[in-house]
Amino acid sequence: DQQVKQNSPSLSVQEGRISILNCDYTNSMFDYFLWYKKYPAEGPTFLISISSIKDKNEDGRFTVFLNKSAKHLSLHIVPSQPGDSAVYFCAASEHNAGNMLTFGGGTRLMVKP
Amino acid sequence: NAGVTQTPKFQVLKTGQSMTLQCAQDMNHEYMSWYRQDPGMGLRLIHYSVGAGITDQGEVPNGYNVSRSTTEDFPLRLLSAAPSQTSVYFCASRKAGGNEQYFGPGTRLTVT
């Protein structure tokens, strides 16, 4: 049973518009959440993270929102650029779970010029 | 800094063969991990290490062995490859106390 789910396998948006990627989790012990971006033939690269004590974290064009009661987080990219086209993975960890990150299945974002 | 490096980039094995995927990092990170990525499944943790001489199992450890004799290196061994191990393998490292993991470029393994 997947503890972290990204229900949209793909998303297509126009350049300049907002991209919203969603992620749901079931494990209430998760207390730290991360988003990774992955280009083809490369390893994932860290994008942005949020602790469960916050409900929002912003870094330039990227904002992550956390709704703990709904066990839901989302990544907003504004404005979207063609270079943002990649697969985005949501990941979660428990404070006392050592080195374990639990990943969602990923969402492929395509930003059209 | 080279970051996290992995060799080889591609490998084809026959069922039953053994091989070692290499991983090295030059950031002096205490924690290292191996993940496999399968379509629609995200990345799943195979084994991890919190320091030299210490390893532990992740979510999908069966069929894989690891060892951590130095801080820099964390090889992953397949003792008897099976078609179910066809996947892309990623090694990652992070500082103790940090949450951000740094990933290598991956090894694409095909077992026929």
CB contact under 8 A, A100 and B40: no
Half-sphere exposure of A80 (CA within 13 A, CB side): 21
DSSP string, chain A: --SEE---SEEEEETTS-EEEEEEE--TT--EEEEEEE-TTS--EEEEEEETT-SEEEETTEEEEEETTTTEEEEEESS--GGG-EEEEEEEE-TTSTT--EE---EEEEEE-
- The per-residue pLDDT string of chain B (112 residues; one tens digit each, 9 = 90 and over) reads 789 999 999 999 999 999 999 999 999 999 999 999 998 778 999 999 999 999 999 989 999 999 999 999 999 999 999 999 999 999 999 988 777 889 999 999 999 9
**CB < 8 Å to B31, chain A:** 99
- Interface probe, candidates A57, A101, A102, A103, chain B, greatest B C-beta count within 10 A: A101
CB contact under 8 A, A100 and B31: no
Nearest neighbour of A42 by CB, restricted to B45, B94, B105: B105
Question: Do B6 and B104 touch, CB atoms closer than 8 A?
Answer: yes
| Spatial distance between the Cα atoms of A74 and A66, rounded to a whole number of angstroms | 7
How is residue B73 annotated by DSSP?
A: B
| Spatial distance between the Cα atoms of B92 and A45, rounded to a whole number of angstroms | 10
For B17, other C-beta atoms within 10 Å of its C-beta total 14
pLDDT per position as a tens digit, A7-65? 999 999 999 999 999 999 999 999 999 999 999 989 999 999 999 999 999 999 999 99
Question: Do B74 and B32 touch, CB atoms closer than 8 A?
Answer: yes
| Spatial distance between the Cα atoms of A12 and A43, rounded to a whole number of angstroms | 22
CB contact under 8 A, A43 and B106: yes
CA distance readout (Å), A38 to A7, A45, A56, B32, B103 = 18, 6, 23, 19, 10
Nearest neighbour of B50 by CB, restricted to A43, A98, A101: A98
Q: How far is B80 from chain A (nearest CA, A)?
A: 26
Q: How far is A99 from chain B (nearest CA, A)?
A: 7
A45 close to B (CB below 8 A)? yes
Helix (H, G, I), strand (E, B) or coil at B99: coil
| Spatial distance between the Cα atoms of A57 and A63, rounded to a whole number of angstroms | 6
